[in-house]
Structure 1
């Protein structure tokens, strides 16, 4: 649900290339400012020692800008579109924050007639990147750092401040730490002044992030929100917090999703308890209601791996004696087109999708008609963890 007009323009251009049978356009960062007037909805906050007075799309004249494949400038002078951030009277040890919302709470919406719910666009473990420019007339006393805001804990996480040199472009990066029970609702930059009060501007070229998420949740910090809980959306079914866990049930195929559709190779580990019925699943590579992989406890004392291609079809199965009201830890690993299933740490199934594999997607939880499942925890990890 969290799309802005420039992001939609990028999507429509990519779809146009695909329909025309052409090569896809060059990759653009999530937040760039190449389109006239675009700001991507960036906003700001301060600590009382200065403030941002305007955020505008800006054409910057540059020379020898040869580090961006999107522009391919080797020499000479040309204009580059960026986000100009104008700052007024930033005092000594003062700071201002420039950020974009990566998740919303219902109370933040002026109206919500269709019951919008949101998954956070950024996750712990991912790598943030940004490029910005400090004009030549600025002093050598400013620092910049990338940060995220965890709304569940009320904490900000950021890297060490990077000194900004006047008249220079600066590349920033930040590896978001592994977190438990986090909800990252902001991503952006913090600017800090170490010297005399300063009034001036900074130009942001782009903000982006990617990489495998790495986090865990036991749902204790989540809250009920529009038919599901915070950070999770639903397709159908009755999803709610109950007894310190996330419960799903319903008369049909019941599904709840979280994460980013661009997530690729990782391991999803879920602790669940089957309470009623014969189908209790976890999902990976979810691309909406019609495309995903799932594995779960199945009828006949089976563990079954499914491919959802307009409907769930079993692709692999193994004997597994399970019973209701007992906890199980299911892990589903996706590495390219290869899927591996573990239960309580023991490998049970492996399968390669040789026919139009799904290579990216969200995570999910699901069960089928007349089932009730208690989900107690969720963890996302890279396929090959760092030692």
Structure 2
């Protein structure tokens, strides 16, 4: 394993997301190569300023499909079927994840329907099943970066993993693109020489394939014309263009662009993603793929701050878990590194293991330049950056300089554990969110004051902000002590059914105007942890990206009616929320069935295909089901229930024991150890109409 493995992953994953963000505003088909050039000329920076960059399929796939290593391939190499199960489990059918462009039009949509209809992988993505045009679109190349990141310095193994994943939806050159990029990413861990990286990638591609031929054409053109990438782009248009390779977004023309960007970028990360974007066609996919390769190759120091800073260590996604859809890049880089050690059968360093906590928020600021998506409310008074000058432990911290603040002037330093729709500029791939901070949890951090000027030391108040009312819940001001670390810890107060969208501290100056406060604070070891206890009041919720906050819906028509969440559906439907990794808890909801025979709650749900569901199941029946890619009834009992009556459902899961009560009367108790953690929510397995009110959740 490389000695700088974690940092290389961090740079590669940042590079992927920088490329995606750079290329997304000029995606086809509206944006042609000529239109990009005539509008922007030489692209040397982001062409749009997003409030927050919304979800993108190029990021969704590499994150969610890798979950196959947790769900099925826990002690062996992956198979196409493992990844196919991740497709079915983590996608909300018809929304998010990837482009749902229609069967026989979108390769991913086609493969999903095939899987749902019982056509297994790899047949689901084969040329035999779908024909060569659908099978050789670009998706096999764009969802695979993480397979290269978890297989460093082993191009053959990385390519094999990439192929297994790509064969769920692709075949032929659609798979060759996966093999090339996984191998190239893997090779980039041991060399920054682009020629060596490209050679290693192509060594994993069949010599007689069209993918190889377009790559060789670009390499030969570059050798003869090394200073003119636009001339090479003209050659690709002439000899390998979209007019020759049909479908919406074929692999071959875009493979040519990727090789072009790598060769003409000459190992310069910034120039490489810029060229990939300026060349048009599938801009975000191409820039994202080459961004991963060159990001790993050059490391953090090779990525310009102008590209890194707007990312601010965070992306959002649009899978079925609103909790996992809010991703902290340094934390995820650690997770990938841990997986890499596992796949290599090597012992993972203990300091890496203890620095990653999947079920809580934990920021140690150890990775170079990391900010963990911490933010400031007032950039006039304060400036934020990563620091290696001072740390509570380790080598890194977050530095906030406060500049000439006077009495009463304030600035917030905070983390975003939840997003509202108005915090995004567009609707890309309909992300949906469950908060990463809840009432009852604890927040802790270490704060060091280095004050240069002012006759009073700076003060602060811990706070959280409510998402609907925008009210700040302050915890009381504390004066910092100059040149000392201060331990800060507080419990998140009851949000009274609202959600929490900011967690942090309010900095305030106590210095009169003639003195002015000037100096710095350092923040380290930021955590949000411990047991949650909260409620969800639907009068304080909204519909964002087509979902009732804070739920992710799969099937059905969901709305807010009379301070309730309302479902109307003709098919099995679910709504999930909460910490994806929650283990032992009690959840309750007031439920009013209007029509249909199935009205349930879900616990330890790990996606659309995994979890427990319990509640009304036909006339006079209550049943507990296990959904493990198909529903199995575990137990049940008689219970006379009626439509249009209010019932309080309470489900408790602790260890392997599941209990279920209605209106305080325990009806079912059953032991099963299939699922050790998961979300909670509401569901039905038949057509139904139902009202839901007053959700309550308590971790045990």
Normalised to the residue count of structure 2, the TM-score between the two structures is 0.49
1:191 aligns with 2:507: yes
Return closer, same or farther for 1:224/1:199 CA change in 2, 3 Å cut-off: same
Cα distance in 1 for partners of 2:529, 2:654 equals 17
Deviation at 1:33, TM superposition (A): 1.2
Cα distance in 1 for partners of 2:683, 2:594 equals 13
1:32 aligns with 2:352: no
1:257 aligns with 2:576: yes
Return closer, same or farther for 1:145/1:361 CA change in 2, 3 Å cut-off: farther
| Cα deviation code 1:273-305 (max 9, x no counterpart) | 111111111112222222222211112411111
Deviation at 1:187, TM superposition (A): 1.1
Q: How many residues align?
A: 364
Match of 1:41 among 358, 367, 373: 373
State the partner residue of 1:370. Answer: 687
Higher relative CO (Cα under 8 Å, sequence separation at least 6) belongs to 1
1:308-387 matches, within 5 Å, as 308-354=627-673, 356=674, 358-383=675-700
Q: 2:609·2:630 contact (CA, 8 Å) conserved in 1?
A: yes
Q: 2:432·2:552 contact (CA, 8 Å) conserved in 1?
A: yes
Deviation at 1:138, TM superposition (A): 6.7
Cα distance in 1 for partners of 2:620, 2:503 equals 45
Cα distance in 2 for partners of 1:122, 1:2 equals 11
Match of 2:404 among 79, 89, 94: 89
Q: 1:138·1:166 contact (CA, 8 Å) conserved in 2?
A: no
SS of 2:332's equivalent? helix
Cα distance in 2 for partners of 1:344, 1:18 equals 47
Q: 1:129·1:209 contact (CA, 8 Å) conserved in 2?
A: yes
1:104-253 matches, within 5 Å, as 104-135=419-450, 137=452, 141-196=457-512, 197-253=516-572
Deviation at 1:265, TM superposition (A): 2.0
- Structure 1, 274-283 or 139-148: larger mean CA deviation: 139-148
SS of 2:388's equivalent? strand
Cα distance in 1 for partners of 2:428, 2:652 equals 38
State the partner residue of 1:77. Answer: none
SS of 2:540's equivalent? coil
Return closer, same or farther for 1:11/1:177 CA change in 2, 3 Å cut-off: same
Q: 2:536·2:696 contact (CA, 8 Å) conserved in 1?
A: yes
- Structure 1, 190-199 or 362-371: larger mean CA deviation: 190-199
- Structure 1, 90-99 or 134-143: larger mean CA deviation: 134-143
State the partner residue of 2:329. Answer: 5
SS of 1:209's equivalent? strand
Deviation at 1:131, TM superposition (A): 1.4
Cα distance in 2 for partners of 1:43, 1:165 equals 23
1:306 aligns with 2:612: no
State the partner residue of 1:76. Answer: none
Q: 1:152·1:181 contact (CA, 8 Å) conserved in 2?
A: no
| Cα deviation code 1:286-329 (max 9, x no counterpart) | 22222222211112411111222222322121211112111110
Return closer, same or farther for 1:375/1:131 CA change in 2, 3 Å cut-off: same
Rg bigger for which structure?
A: 2
| Cα deviation code 1:160-185 (max 9, x no counterpart) | 33332222212111111223221211
Return closer, same or farther for 1:257/1:231 CA change in 2, 3 Å cut-off: same
Q: 2:498·2:541 contact (CA, 8 Å) conserved in 1?
A: no
Q: 1:145·1:172 contact (CA, 8 Å) conserved in 2?
A: no
1:59 aligns with 2:388: yes
Structure 1 residues not aligned, in runs of 5+: 72-79
Q: 2:427·2:545 contact (CA, 8 Å) conserved in 1?
A: no
Q: CA RMSD in A?
A: 2.2
Cα distance in 1 for partners of 2:606, 2:366 equals 28
SS of 1:119's equivalent? coil
Q: Which of structure 1's runs of 4+ aligned residues deviate more than 3 A?
A: 17-24, 136-140
Cα distance in 1 for partners of 2:576, 2:453 equals 46
Deviation at 1:353, TM superposition (A): 1.7
**More strand, by proportion:** 1
Deviation at 1:120, TM superposition (A): 1.7
Cα distance in 2 for partners of 1:97, 1:191 equals 6
**More helix, by proportion:** 2
Q: 1:212·1:266 contact (CA, 8 Å) conserved in 2?
A: no
Q: 2:444·2:487 contact (CA, 8 Å) conserved in 1?
A: yes
Q: 1:212·1:265 contact (CA, 8 Å) conserved in 2?
A: no
1:99 aligns with 2:414: yes
Q: 2:621·2:639 contact (CA, 8 Å) conserved in 1?
A: yes
